[in-house]
Amino acid sequence: MMNITPKKRMLTAYKGEKPDRVPVAPEFWYYIPAKVLGVDMIQLEREIPHWQALQKTFKHYSCEGWGIVQPQPKYDLFPINRQLQRIGEGRYEEKGIIHTPKGKLTARTLYDKKEPSWKIERFIKNFQNDWPFYEKFVLREVNEYDWSAVQEALDKIGDDYLLEVLTGFTFIDFIGWEREGGLEQTILDIVDHERYLFELQKRYIHWITEFTRAIFSKTTAESVNIPCIWSTLSLVSPQMWRKWDKPVIEAVVNAAHQMGGLVHLHFHGNCMEVIEDFAQLGIDCVCPFQRPPGGDVTSLRKVKKKLAGRVTFSGNVHTVETLIRGTSVDVEKEIREILEVWESQPRLILGTGDQVGKETSEDNIYTMVETAKKFGKY
């Protein structure tokens, strides 16, 4: 494995095998790529393909990493237009309008030069009226997507890092992502419209199963990614997660494994009560296993025991206390602590407890990478 590539190193860890050393994959998402490329946040989000920004960032720090890409629909099922206007110094608002047979669905997103964009209005406002049309808008047949751009990105990334295809949200995130009122309203919807959502969950599981299969049949992707918005035990109960989200994850894992692919679940926040579920599902890799206060991982040995050698552990380096507020000594100490628990056993990726903050010093990022390379050799 003298010439193993960053992508190969990640895939080997996902499979529970030993590469030449433990991969080190800080989560560089918005802030650090913008800094490396010398652009503001609006330029990063609207002008530069995210997979391309990550490629330059991982190369800059000579480390492993992962990112996501997704196909776009070939055409609009309903007419849609987007309007961008400047609303202040360094700030813009984009309004999206979907024209349906029963009226308009509108949403607004705020763009700021210093911070990642965020939604200030969401499409689904009237549950009974809006959901049937929004469902048709987002749950397309797999042949209605343009897969060529995904393949082009995979080809251009090559072995520089592990580019995964976004397969879809877990169910709570799916029904809440464009629901006016966000998670709070989504919880009320689950109580008020449980029967409708139960049927929608069945349709969504069918869709995401077919979509996952299409990823591996229509592209050369080797891994799919399930992201996380609100689907975390910091916000929903283990019972709710098992009822609404776990069946979706199970469908993705089964479909991906049937196609010879791998699954990476991003699950930030509290997680300890469902780690054994991760192992039972056979998810190939989970991240980021956050320490308090962002998460509830206080014992790495407990996490390792619960994973039972069936799931690759990725993350855990504290992005605030260690990478922002700490010194290079603190960074090295935390990296070596994680390595000591895994004791040269596979299924380990040294990553961060979610996104690396913009206040993080260059010294601490380089220390994380170099410490992992020095002490993480198998």
Confidence bin at 31 (pLDDT 50/70/90) = very high
pLDDT in tens, 83-132: 889 999 899 999 999 888 888 899 999 999 999 999 999 999 999 999 99
In the chain, where the domains are located: 6-77+140-375, 79-123
Confidence bin at 70 (pLDDT 50/70/90) = very high
- Is residue 1 within 8 Å of residue 20, measured between CB atoms? yes
Residues 6+ apart with CB under 8 A from 185: 176, 179
Question: Is residue 22 pLDDT above 60, yes or no?
Answer: yes
pLDDT in tens, 193-223: 999 999 999 999 999 999 999 999 999 999 9
What predicted TM-score, i.e. pTM, was given to this entire model?
0.94
Mean pLDDT of 69-95: 88
d(CA 220, CA 278): 26
6-77+140-375: CATH class: alpha beta
Mean pLDDT of 291-319: 96
Q: Across all residues in the chain, what is the average pLDDT?
A: 95
What was the pLDDT predicted at 1? Answer: 56
What was the pLDDT predicted at 251? Answer: 98
pLDDT in tens, 50-66: 999 999 999 999 999 99
